[in-house]
Structure 1
Amino acid sequence: MKLKLTPTQNLCVGFLESGYELIQLDEQFFFVKGDRRQKVLPKTLEALVNRGALLHQKDGSYCLTDEFMEHRRRMRSPDSAQAIRH
């Protein structure tokens, strides 16, 4: 799993972490939450799948992988931040 993400990929992960649902309308993909909708390019989703951050499920939906979520938790922990500074 490549853990380094581009700013756009990081933004997409943030949408998913904050409760946005990823939907497909025709050939376009959108993050949707209530009345809010943000378009996302298929190549961005493909890159996230290739990096191991997203899983494309059999029903066509996408979700963050357990491995990636664990990596995010480790990176956000105070112990990790302190280790990076030293």
Structure 2
Amino acid sequence: MKLKLTPTQNLCVGFLETGFELIQVDDQYYFVKGDRRQKVLSKTLEALVTRGALKHTREGKYELSDEFKQHRKRMRSPVESKHTRH
């Protein structure tokens, strides 16, 4: 899996990886953690789904896809050889 994310998309992934919850209020989405709240556009979320980073669950929530979590794990692994990257 080769993922090219925009800085905004990367920021969204970072929010999810650091424990922010993604909530929907009316037709707007927000990343929320404690008192912090960051607005995110639905088109950004859809682009992340299209690229395979997010999945839309049956419950209507967005979460990081298992494939993307594995991709991030491989990219962060210091032992990985350049020859094994996809």
Distance 1:31 1:2 in 2: 25
Kindly state the Cα deviation for residue 79 of structure 1 after the two structures are TM-superposed. Answer: 2.3
Task: Provide the aligned length of Structure 1 versus Structure 2.
Answer: 83
Structure 1 gaps, min length 5:
none
Structure 2 gaps, min length 5:
none
Partner residue, 1:83 = 82
Output the aligned Cα RMSD.
1.5
* 1:2-27, Cα deviation, whole Å (9 max, x unpaired): 51111000000000000000000011
The within-5 A match list for 1:55-70 is: 55-70=55-70
- Whether the 8 Å contact between 1:52 and 1:68 is mirrored in structure 2 is yes
Q: Give the residue type in structure 2 aligned to 1:48.
A: L
Q: TM-score, normalised by structure 2?
A: 0.90
Which portions of structure 1, spanning 4 or more consecutive aligned residues, are displaced by more than 6 angstroms? none
Question: Kindly, what percent of the aligned residue pairs are identical?
Answer: 72
Distance 1:47 1:62 in 2: 12
As a proportion of its length, which structure holds more helix?
1
Distance 1:79 1:47 in 2: 31
